Amino acid sequence: MNLNFQTSPAHYRHWQLTFEGDIATLAMNVDGAGGLFEHYELKLNSYDLGVDIELADALERIVFEHPEVRCVVVTGGIDKVFCAGANINMLSTSTHAWKVNFCKYTNETRLYIEDYSENSGKRFLAALNGTASGGGYELALACDKIILVDDRNSAVSFPELPLLGVLPGTGGLTRIVDKRKIRRDLCDAFSAVAEGIKGKRAVEWDLVDATAPLSRWEESVSTMAREMADEVPDRSACKGIELTPIEVTETDAGLAWKYVTVTFEETPSGPGRMAQLTLDLPAEVGPTDAAAIHAEGADWWIFRMFRELNLALLDLRIKHPETGLVMTRVVGDPAVAMGIDAVLANPGADWFIHEVRHYLKRMLKRYENSAKSLYAVMDEGTAFVGTFYELALAGDRQYLLNDPEVPVTVGITEANAGWFPMANGLTRLQTRFLGAPERADEALAKAGLLDAETANELGLATFAPDDIDWEDELRLAIEERVSFSPDGLTGMEANLRFAGPETMETKIFGRLSAWQNWIFQRPNAAGERGALKCYGTPQAPEFDFMRT
């Protein structure tokens, strides 16, 4: 398997990215022989993780390298086909962990499209030049508007239930009811018809926003894209930031980037079950004015650090599924952490600072949406302040060394007051103190650098042992956690991390972690005569018809 989470347009095999003024076009033209594994062919613009890695890269480049773009047209590069969805042979032959992590990545990419639309001045038009099935239609649903070619053949469909015995894995069922707000009886009928819905009925049911005949297809797409581009502010004067590649060093112990390291450690339950994730702050805050920050570009340390964190998280998820516990430390001078929040405090003054803040928000979400137990270790030399304290809050527990002889600092800044909302729409402090909202206000009122005793009194740590008990407490916590069932832990963490209001985003990931996770393993889908295994063969699936 040739898996690299970094790519660039010069290396794309599956997408063509072009620009015409403030409109970008992303055309999906999947190389059938370009899958991550050799035992399947990516027919009919079906996709695997490699295709989606390119899509995520293209979207990120549109945001950072082409701030002038106001509308992105997502279309198919194959005649009469938009996208057939996730490749079925890939799914049917993959491990359960691979399937779920694949779905999680595609979900995040679709949610990023919606985030770019809401916060980055981009509008997305899905121009379905042919049939959009399963994940192909889910990609379209993530866009702001959908136009379908009316050629009497092209349709939108969710064939997962009737053909595969599973569910659309990238938020499709959630978006048709929660985002497009289609009547649930129509959604029920739509999701049970393998061939899908086309033409006039697709518009009547609000499955698409418009149709256009082949004779007026290009004109209709162009007109719609222009109208959508004109809805958002003009950024034509903004100069983009090149996303340069990030080098990593592989060692016997793990992985090392410039600011982020991952090391794998032995535990009583076996090697590799625990990882140390360390973020190293630079010695100084660095540039504070927009011009100097632009000169730094992709090497601006806070941006680069979180790009490295992104690569570390993806590596942990996909390549190290057996690693169940991540111990996170932010090392450095708390004043530097405090200082970078002062730089990020006024994003409206500069588009790049604005986009970096939203990038940090997405990476914090990716961190807490990882199927790992996440413990923050706040001891001597650490700097869990502001943005970096969000990393502690995003985890499951915070261990704080509380000893008068050892200086340990925790810090609250305005970053903790709403810069980085969770999937539930609340801040992490609000979610932490859901039953006592005045505690969140009390913590914010103490903005600044806090000693360990004060931080503990404010409820900013889970456990705060002194120096005598510190090593034993951590050792016991590690031994306990790595001994538990990973399935039970994943379910527990997914339930506990997102307390409070239900949103489309929490529903998407909650259902992925629970229902889809369960259905993917059931014999009706994955058994020897399950629908996934029998698809494309002469054999009909055999179902256990007990309803549970």
> For 279-313, how does the pLDDT look when each residue is reduced to its tens digit (9 = 90+)?
999 999 999 999 999 999 999 999 999 999 999 99
Q: Which of 229, 259, 288 is the last residue of a domain?
A: 229
Q: Could you give the 3-state DSSP secondary structure of residue 537?
A: coil
Q: Name the residue among 315, 147, 122 with its Cα closest to residue 231.
A: 122
Alpha helices in 66-95 (DSSP H): 88-93
Residues 273 and 402 in one domain: yes
Could you tell me whether strands 80-83 and 15-20 are parallel, antiparallel, or unpaired per DSSP bridges?
unpaired
Please check whether residues 36 and 78 belong to one and the same domain. yes
DSSP three-state, residue 80: strand
E strands in 309-408: 325-331, 373-378, 383-385, 397-400
* Amino acid 165: pLDDT: 93
Provide the pLDDT confidence category of residue 267 given band limits of 50, 70 and 90: confident
Q: Please give the backbone phi and psi of residue 19, each rounded to the nearest 5 degrees, phi first.
A: -130, 140
**One domain for residues 40 and 177:** yes
Separation of alpha carbons 297 and 307, rounded Å: 13
Whether 256 and 296 map to the same domain: the answer is yes
Q: What is the DSSP string of 133-154?
A: ETHHHHHHHHSSEEEEEESSS-
Q: Residue 2 above 80 pLDDT?
A: no
The pLDDT value recorded for residue 1 is: 55
- Contacts of residue 432, defined as CB under 8 A and 6 or more positions apart, other chains included, come to 393, 439, 440, 459
Give the number of C-alpha atoms closer than 13 A to the C-alpha of residue 500, restricted to the C-beta side: 23
DSSP state at residue 324: -
CATH label of the domain that carries residue 384: 3.90.226.10
CA 54-60-63 angle, to 5 degrees, is: 145
Residue scoring higher pLDDT (65 or 272): 65
**DSSP states along 486-520:** HHHHHHHHHHHTT-S---HHHHHHHHIIIIIHHHH
What number of helices (H) and strands (E) belong to the chain?
A: 22, 22
Q: Looking at the 3D structure of the chain, how many domains does it have?
A: 2
State the pairing for strand pair 210-213/80-83: unpaired
Q: How confident is the model at residue 513 (pLDDT cuts 50, 70, 90)?
A: confident
CB-count exposure of residue 184 (10 Å: 0-12, 13-18, 19+): exposed
CB 205 within 8 A of CB 182: yes
* pLDDT single digits (tens) 65-84: 999 999 999 999 999 999 99
Residue at 533 is within a domain: no
355 and 210 within one domain: no
Do 255 and 219 lie in a common domain? no
Q: Indicate whether 527 belongs to any domain.
A: no
Asked whether the beta carbons of 536 and 461 are under 8 A apart, the reply is: no
The verdict on 197 and 257 lying in the same domain is no
Give me the mean pLDDT over the 104-123 stretch: 97
Position 518 in a domain: no
| Structural domain includes residue 538 | no
Cβ burial 225-249 (10 Å sphere, 16+ → b, else e): beebbeebeebeeeebbebeebebe
419-430 burial string, b = 16+ CB within 10 Å, else e?
A: bbbbbbebbbbb
Higher pLDDT, 5 or 348: 5
Same domain, 85 and 132: yes
- Residues 370-403: tens digit of each pLDDT: 999 999 999 999 999 999 999 999 999 999 999 9
Residue 504 lies in a domain: no
If one counts every other C-beta atom within 10 angstroms of the C-beta of residue 345, the result is 15
pLDDT digits (tens, 9 = 90+) for 444-478: 999 999 999 999 999 999 999 999 999 999 999 99
pLDDT in tens, 149-185: 999 999 999 999 999 999 999 999 999 999 999 999 9
User: What is the reported pLDDT for 459?
Assistant: 98
| 169 assigned to some structural domain | yes
pLDDT score, position 402: 96
Return the pLDDT at 511: 80
Examine residue 29 and state whether it is found in any structural domain, yes or no: yes
Q: For 416-433, what is the mean pLDDT?
A: 97
Length of the chain: 548
Q: For 3-60, how does the pLDDT look when each residue is reduced to its tens digit (9 = 90+)?
A: 899 999 999 999 999 999 999 999 999 999 999 999 999 999 999 999 999 999 999 9
The enclosing H or E element of 336 equals: helix 334-344
User: Considering 470, 489, 508, which residue would you say is the last residue of a domain?
Assistant: 489
Q: Which of 443, 473, 489 is the last residue in one of the domains?
A: 489
Answer whether residue 178 is part of any domain.
yes
Q: Which domain holds residue 438?
A: 249-489
Compute the distance between CA of residue 437 and CA of residue 424 in angstroms, rounded to an integer.
Answer: 16
Beta strands in 333-396 (DSSP E): 373-378, 383-385
Task: Please indicate, yes or no, whether residues 213 and 284 belong to a single structural domain of this protein.
Answer: no
Shared domain check, 74 and 30: yes
pLDDT per residue as tens digits for the range 219-237: 999 999 999 999 999 999 9
